[in-house]
Amino acid sequence: MRGVIAALLLLLATQAAHADADNCRRSREYLLGSLGGDLTLPPQAYNDLFKICAAASVMSNVKDAYILKDGGIAVVPKQDSIAATAGTLSQFCDAYPRATLRFLTRKDLALAKTFIGIVQISSTSATPCKKIKGLT
> Would you place residue 52 in the very low, low, confident or very high pLDDT band (cuts 50, 70, 90)?
very high
User: What global pTM score does this model have?
Assistant: 0.82
CA distance 6 to 75: 30
pLDDT above 80: residue 34: no
All structural domains of the chain with their residue ranges: 21-132
Question: Could you report the per-residue pLDDT of 107-118, keeping only the tens digit for each?
Answer: 999 999 899 999
Dihedral over Cα of 71, 27, 25, 107: its sign: positive
CA distance 116 to 125: 19
Query: What's the pLDDT score for residue 14?
Result: 40
Over range 74-101, report the average pLDDT.
96
AA letter at 92 = F
* Burial class of 92 by CB neighbour count within 10 A (0 to 12, 13 to 18, 19+): buried
